[in-house]
Amino acid sequence: MSKRPNGDGSITRYKEGWRGRYIDPVDHKQRAVYGASQEECKKKLDAIKAAIQGGVYVRIDKILTGDWLDFWFQNYYCVGSKQSSQATTRQGINAYLKPTIGKIPLQKLTTDHAQSVVRVMQKRGLAPSTIHRHIKTLKQALSQAVKVKKIHSNPVNAVILPSMEKPEIKYLTAEEQQKVLQHIPATTHGRAIRFLLGTGMRVSELCGLKWKDVQADGLHVARINMTIKDWQADGYINVETLPKTAAGKRVIPLPNSVKAILEDQRRAQMEQRLKAGSAWAGEDPGKANCYIFANSLGKPADRHNIARAFRDLCDKAGIPRRGIHTTRHTFATNWVQNNPDIASLSRILGHADTAFTYRTYCHADQQSMERGMEQMASFI
């Protein structure tokens, strides 16, 4: 037996090799390391002693990275996150993180392993912003593993991520707007699109609108409504939450043209209720807690269906397809080009920072530049 100072561990023969014992500083229980030779066992024991003294000791744990991601998600991430965020994070874990590194023991995970996740996502054509989001999830999970002493350090800290260029704001030009307006159908989706163009709202905010939100001083934006994939079961669920920021709760003044859209929708909803009969699942149409742009059965509209309707509308109008967020960008661009009051625009859009509104939407288009150059020509 090789004796060591009291509390410093001991090395003894064990079967055909050697065993080193030490006291675990976490639970104060005796634990052991093994080696084929006394020297190998001593090196392992000395490494543990150095880790204990350096405050970086972690108990040997055979948990797999995928199992830790599942445990972290359920016990840490879900505690303080919204259902919509949970669905997105769970999808990233299942689609990219676990298939690539899930079978690797957590304590053997390296930066190279984490970097391989980036390469896999790049090969699949994911946008840099999406890659950043999923790697952020991995980094958060491993940071928690460090805190609870599952691993020494976070291997994601040294990962290199693709650069993210600021996305170009896409909006409808005046000519494209006219084409779109000429082809908007007299349907709930059509009225929803026209309403988005007239208010600059986010589509998730529009899906959460109820008739009680239409008040004398304007439209009260008080909630968002989204249909998301249910990560706990096979299917989809409807989630309603508060706006992301305090600035998101706001009042939008309603001009007569926008009020007219609401009146058309109220009449149409009454007719939908009659057609649906006993299948109607919502509140009384046109009243209080009934959703303004509800589907044909009175349930909250699905933002994806509205987005799909907008893409189809672009096709009919003969213009390039755009995402539904284009309606918001179009509203803001129209405002900036015709009204210098950026502070009011920022409040209507629900931005917390006026400077952000200015940076995002004070861009120049070709026609504006040509008009400006014509004006400048008068000086020469």
The 10s digit of each residue's pLDDT in 126-154 is: 999 999 999 999 999 999 999 988 898 99
pLDDT above 60 (res 375):
yes
pLDDT above 80 (res 348):
yes
The token duo for 135 is 């790697």
Selection from 193, 181, 177, 183 nearest residue 293 by Cα: 193
Residues 199-217 have pLDDT tens digits of 999 999 999 999 999 999 9
pLDDT above 60 (res 5):
no
Q: For domain 174-368, give the CATH number.
A: 1.10.443.10
Half-sphere exposure of 222 (CA within 13 A, CB side): 12
Q: How far is it, in rounded angstroms, from Cα 375 to Cα 85?
A: 49
- What is the average per-residue pLDDT within 155-176? 90
Q: How far is it, in rounded angstroms, from Cα 323 to Cα 325?
A: 5
pLDDT above 80 (res 8):
no
pLDDT of residue 6: 42
Q: How far is it, in rounded angstroms, from Cα 19 to Cα 169?
A: 65
pLDDT of residue 7: 44
- Mean pLDDT (the chain) is 90
Architecture of domain 76-158 in CATH?
A: Orthogonal Bundle (1.10)
Q: How far is it, in rounded angstroms, from Cα 16 to Cα 380?
A: 97
Selection from 204, 206, 229 nearest residue 85 by Cα: 229
Q: How far is it, in rounded angstroms, from Cα 349 to Cα 188?
A: 23
Q: What ranges make up the beta strands (E) of the chain?
A: 10-14, 17-23, 30-35, 214-215, 218-221, 224-229, 236-241, 250-252
Higher pLDDT, 261 or 31: 261
Cα–Cα distances (Å) from 87 to 90, 233, 241, 276, 355, in that order, read 5, 11, 14, 31, 31
Q: Among 125-139, 151-165, 180-194, 223-237, name the one with the lowest average pLDDT.
A: 223-237
- What is the average per-residue pLDDT within 15-20? 92
Q: How far is it, in rounded angstroms, from Cα 169 to Cα 362?
A: 10
Q: How far is it, in rounded angstroms, from Cα 49 to Cα 40?
A: 14
| pTM across the whole model | 0.74
Q: What ranges make up the beta strands (E) of 137-181?
A: none
221: pLDDT confidence band, cut at 50, 70 and 90? very high
Q: How far is it, in rounded angstroms, from Cα 363 to Cα 20?
A: 69
Residues 110-129 have pLDDT tens digits of 999 999 999 999 999 999 99
DSSP assignment, residue 37? Answer: S
pLDDT above 80 (res 166):
no
181-185 long-range Cβ contacts below 8 angstroms, 24+ apart: 182/317, 183/313, 183/316, 183/317, 184/313, 185/313
367: pLDDT confidence band, cut at 50, 70 and 90? low
- What is the average per-residue pLDDT within 220-246? 82
Residues 286-337 have pLDDT tens digits of 999 999 999 999 999 999 999 999 999 999 999 999 999 999 999 999 998 8
- What is the average per-residue pLDDT within 279-286? 92
83: pLDDT confidence band, cut at 50, 70 and 90? confident
Residues 20-74 have pLDDT tens digits of 999 888 778 888 989 999 999 999 999 888 888 887 777 777 899 999 999 999 9
pLDDT above 70 (res 4):
no
Residues 88-118 have pLDDT tens digits of 899 999 999 999 999 999 999 999 999 999 9
pLDDT of residue 308: 96
